[in-house]
Amino acid sequence: MKRGLFSVKGWFVCEDQACQNRTRRLPIAFSRHGPICPACTRATLRPEYSEKALYNQLCFYRYIFDWDYAAAKVLRTEERSKTSSCFSLGSID
């Protein structure tokens, strides 16, 4: 079962650099921006995730939005040349 980017072991960290409270419990107090940190009560808690999880997520997005890869897989050679000329960044007179 694959987990999403923000569900890595359920840790939350305070977004205030001075506080940096880290917890697994979701507080009762919420603001418009998310759960309020119970330690400092000034900032909100954000889900914590590793650099590896972020890197994997960015690689996945790069893969699913890769126009050249999708065009090469689906279109024939002559169709690819037509579409690439349509999407090229040429100068506009």
Q: What per-residue confidence (pLDDT) applies to 21?
A: 92
> Under DSSP, is residue 14 helix (H, G, I), strand (E, B) or coil?
strand
The secondary structure of residue 44, as a DSSP letter, is: B
Domain ranges of the chain: 12-75
> Which among 1, 93, 92, 4 is positioned nearest to 47, based on CA atoms?
4
Whether 65 contacts 42, CB under 8 Å: no
Ordered per-residue pLDDT tens for the chain, 93 residues:
444 444 446 899 999 999 989 999 888 889 998 999 999 999 999 988 888 888 999 999 998 888 887 777 777 666 656 666 655 555 454
CA 31, CA 33: separation in Å to the nearest integer? 5
Write down the pTM of the prediction: 0.51
Q: What per-residue confidence (pLDDT) applies to 55?
A: 93
Q: What per-residue confidence (pLDDT) applies to 93?
A: 46
Q: What per-residue confidence (pLDDT) applies to 6?
A: 44
